[in-house]
Amino acid sequence: MESKLKSNNFARNTLILTVVALVLLLVPALLIDLPVGFPVINAYTAQILTLGAINAIMAISVNVVCGITGQLSLGQAGFQAIGAYSVILLTSNAGIPLPVSILLAGIIAAFFGFLIGFPTLKLEGDYLAIVTLAFGEIIRICLVNLKNLTGGPNGIQFSTVFTTSLDHGPAIAYFTIAGSLILIVVFLQNFLRSTYGRSILAVREDEIAANSNGISVFKYKMTGFVIAAFIGGIGGALYAPFIGFVKPDLGSFNNSINHLIYVVLGGMGSITGGIVAAFGLTILQEMLRFLRDYRLLIYPVILIFVMLYRPQGLLGTKELSFVKTFDALPGFWAKITGKNKQKEGKK
């Protein structure tokens, strides 16, 4: 009886999450793709939403290292640059279809993550941060000097259906990138509930206690670092066809800091917190574009207030739960209707 009840709850929760994911994915895509006479979501707004989804993917990449594995990495933009240039070279030079190139770009970034993580993950704290920062700068300098492959400091153009199709390009871009974001969240949440995920969380909480219980600290640090590199590579592989132009500055230190800001604001260890912060700051940055360069001062001000009044971030280590929200709706509605009835009775 108990197993049957658990099975029913699992099916119900899966159904709720599936419906929410489809609504978040399909409704904006359909509104973007409406005829010109019904501009519910125009191309500019669609671009902001899609860019927010890319930033959310990069926030997840940083969060896997900083919030879940418990390390400090300042070079995640390097993996984004590797993914971006890899997808361009694989598609343009090798003739590989774009969807396959995106996946291969993530794998290439994961391979570089393994190469970097193997000698450096025995370091901790500031030392690891310095090494990953240096890695990001090495990647950027290599991209600047490999002019035959990367176009040098001027960058390289990359035309795909996202940029060439004026009618359906924005909708296709949003559907592809937002869909990839949803798949990454589903994969990561299931991974964290697995034995490997719980071991990584145990290493984050206390390395000595985890090691004394037979958990290989280095192995699980490496696992988390490689997964973060893979997600970062996917973020870059989606960025290149969406923007249609990539420069080596994509792997710069400033870009890594921007990704780290999403995680600090959303909460270290909170996947949904990082996603909310990424979308929020992306939209805020566009809303404040009339301030020109002065809008860049908004990030430091926000961080100062967060550190003063909410140092754990918006959500801390908690996650937004659509299932709990759905379960709370009947009680919330009952309270509203009850208050309305009381007001009517007093009248």
Which among 33-42, 101-110, 315-324 has the top mean pLDDT?
A: 101-110
Q: Lowest mean pLDDT: which of 29-38, 58-67, 171-180, 265-274?
A: 29-38
Both tokens of residue 76?
């995640």
Query: Given this model, what pLDDT does residue 7 score?
Result: 58
Query: Given this model, what pLDDT does residue 227 score?
Result: 94
Q: How many CB atoms lie within 10 A of CB 150?
A: 22
For 261-278, the pLDDT digits (tens) are 899 888 888 899 899 999
For 76-125, the pLDDT digits (tens) are 999 999 999 999 999 988 889 999 999 999 999 999 999 988 888 777 76
Query: Given this model, what pLDDT does residue 236 score?
Result: 93
CA distance 307 to 275: 19
Q: What does each C-alpha distance from 49 to 238, 250, 285, 314 come to in angstroms?
A: 14, 19, 12, 21
Query: Given this model, what pLDDT does residue 237 score?
Result: 94
pLDDT at 181 over 90: yes
Query: Given this model, what pLDDT does residue 343 score?
Result: 58
Q: What does each C-alpha distance from 269 to 25, 275, 289 come to in angstroms?
A: 24, 12, 30
CA distance 252 to 150: 15
Predicted TM-score (pTM) of the model is: 0.89
Which among 24-38, 39-53, 68-82, 163-177 has the top mean pLDDT?
A: 68-82
Flag whether 13 is in a domain. no
| 31: phi then psi, degrees, rounded to nearest 5 | -70, -30
Flag whether 333 is in a domain. no
Flag whether 214 is in a domain. yes
Q: What does each C-alpha distance from 250 to 80, 85, 87, 245 come to in angstroms?
A: 7, 10, 14, 10
pLDDT at 25 over 60: yes
Q: What does each C-alpha distance from 252 to 29, 46, 79, 238 come to in angstroms?
A: 32, 26, 11, 18
- SS3 label, residue 123: coil
Number of domains in the chain: 1
Alpha helices, DSSP H, located in the chain: 2-32, 43-63, 76-92, 98-120, 125-145, 147-150, 161-164, 169-192, 195-205, 207-212, 217-243, 253-266, 271-287, 298-309, 322-346
Q: Lowest mean pLDDT: which of 74-83, 214-223, 256-265, 300-309?
A: 300-309
CA dihedral 136, 90, 98, 188 (to 10 degrees): -40
Find the domain containing 199 and state its range. 45-320
C-alpha radius of gyration, the chain, whole number = 22
pLDDT at 68 over 70: yes
Flag whether 183 is in a domain. yes
Flag whether 37 is in a domain. no
State the burial class of residue 217 (Cβ atoms within 10 Å of its Cβ: 0-12, 13-18, 19+). Answer: middle
Q: Are 268 and 62 in contact (CB under 8 A)?
A: no
**CATH code assigned at 217:** 1.10.3470
Flag whether 269 is in a domain. yes
Query: Given this model, what pLDDT does residue 304 score?
Result: 83
Query: Given this model, what pLDDT does residue 169 score?
Result: 77
User: What value does the mean pLDDT take over residues 196-206?
Assistant: 88
Q: Which residue has the higher pLDDT, 323 or 238?
A: 238
Q: What is the DSSP string of 240-268?
A: HHHHSEE-GGGGSHHHHHHHHHHHHHH-T
Flag whether 343 is in a domain. no
Q: Are 17 and 324 in contact (CB under 8 A)?
A: no
- HSE of 12, CA atoms in CB hemisphere, 13 A: 10
> For residue 102, what are the contacts with CB-CB under 8 A and spacing of at least 6?
87, 180, 234, 237, 238
Flag whether 138 is in a domain. yes
pLDDT at 223 over 80: yes
CA distance 136 to 218: 22
Both tokens of residue 272?
């949904």
Q: How many CB atoms lie within 10 A of CB 245?
A: 15
pLDDT at 183 over 60: yes
